[in-house]
């Protein structure tokens, strides 16, 4: 599933960034070499990161 259309970031990419230590959407995006543009994806990215952190 695509999380961020602006940057073509997929859910699996955000999950991987979270597993590698990203604790926020901004950190995850930086780890992927980009940044949030329009911001509509940030709440969804945050949910994914929180789910990964809870599962760890």
Confirm if 55 and 47 have CB atoms less than 8 A apart. no
* pLDDT one-digit tens code per residue, 4-51: 999 999 999 999 999 999 999 999 999 999 988 999 999 999 999 999
Query: What pLDDT, on the 0 to 100 scale, is given for residue 56?
Result: 75
Query: What pLDDT, on the 0 to 100 scale, is given for residue 29?
Result: 96
- Identify the H or E element spanning 54: helix 42-55
Query: What pLDDT, on the 0 to 100 scale, is given for residue 36?
Result: 87
**d(Cα 40, Cα 21) in Å, to the nearest integer?**
22
Is 2 a residue whose pLDDT tops 80?
A: yes
């Amino acid at each position: 599933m695509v999380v961020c259309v602006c940057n073509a970031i997929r859910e699996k990419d955000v999950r991987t960034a979270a597993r590698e230590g990203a604790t926020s959407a901004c950190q995850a995006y930086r780890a992927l070499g980009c940044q949030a543009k329009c911001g509509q994806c940030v709440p969804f990215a945050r949910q994914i990161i929180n789910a990964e952190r809870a599962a760890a």
